[in-house]
Amino acid sequence: MTKNTKCIFTKKDAKHYAIPGGDCYLFPDSPTGRLSSALVDQVGRYPAKGYQINDVCTESFLILEGDLKFTINGKTKTMHPMDVAYIPPKSPYSIKGSGKVFVFIEPKWDPKQNHAA
């Protein structure tokens, strides 16, 4: 167990990042330290050009609002509210459109393992 024993977080607890195509709010890690989560307000394309890859994490996206076009490993699908997209490690991906998503990241997110393809 990590030192973080807090189990309930509000958006005020999240760290804000401006990202290509929107805003990301990264919440503190789970009490076990194995899971991260984020709220993303998407308006545009992520990444701005090309594709993104996470070398280690599986990213699980729950679409809350809007219609977003996910391209994962060369396959494209338009996602709608309450749809889920999983991005496995080492999978090139991009997201385009306007909407809000909640992202679960396992193991916890580390910026050193997330890069352009």
Give the pLDDT confidence of 29-66 residue by residue, as tens digits: 999 889 999 999 999 999 999 999 999 999 999 999 99
How do residues 77-90 score in pLDDT, each as one tens digit?
A: 999 999 999 999 99
HSE-CB at 25 with a 13 A cutoff on CA atoms is 12
How crowded is the C-beta side of 50, counted as CA atoms within 13 Å? 7
Check if CATH label 2.60.120.10 holds for domain 11-116: yes
**DSSP state, residue 44:** E
Structure tokens at 65: 């609002």
Q: Which amino acid is present at 110?
A: D
Structural domain boundaries in the chain: 11-116
Please report, for residues 27, 29, 53, 85, the alpha-carbon distance to residue 117 in angstroms, rounded to integers and kept in the order given.
25, 26, 6, 19
